[in-house]
Amino acid sequence: MTVFESKENINRPVEEVYAFLADFNNHEQLMPEMISEWRSSVDEASFSIQNMAKLSLKISNRISDTSVIIVPGSQVPFHVEMRWLVADMGDNTTEAVLTVSAELNMMMKVMASGPLKKLTEHEVSALKKALS
């Protein structure tokens, strides 16, 4: 399993950060510009990645004020899971951690590692910006 992780401290209460992440309608604000044709509900999202593929994701599990787990909503070439964890750091500050875990063979690891690492960094940075 290959794991990519990024984190940020956000000057908002944990309940507010969790509520934002628990609704897939808000995740469009976290996506890089190469994402288009975004469609979402509270639980699912579908979108296109420029010059690549169409993807769908769904929230598979929520633990109030703690975590949101996202998995593919359709068949993908490898197992992948996105896990948002939020933790109350006191003083209305929340630590938000995005972990992407993927089962990648050597060839897929070479191709996907850079984009997946950039995605985790971009999303946590965009979350901080969206909630500032």
Give the span between the Cα atoms of 25 and 29, in whole angstroms: 9
What are the sequence ranges of the domains in the chain?
A: 2-23+60-130
Q: What is 2-23+60-130's CATH superfamily?
A: START domain (3.30.530.20)
Task: Tell me how many helices (H) and strands (E) the chain has.
Answer: 2, 7
**Residue tagged 């999202």 (tokens):** 45
**Residue tagged 């929230």 (tokens):** 59
Assess contact for 46 and 55: CB atoms under 8 A: yes
Q: Residue 118: name the closest of 4, 2, 1 by CA.
A: 4
The reported pTM is 0.91
Q: Which residues contact 125 (CB under 8 A, 6 or more apart)?
A: 6, 8
Give the span between the Cα atoms of 71 and 76, in whole angstroms: 10
User: pLDDT tens across 81-121, in order?
Assistant: 999 999 999 999 999 999 999 898 888 888 888 888 999 99
User: pLDDT tens across 40-62, in order?
Assistant: 999 999 998 877 778 899 999 99
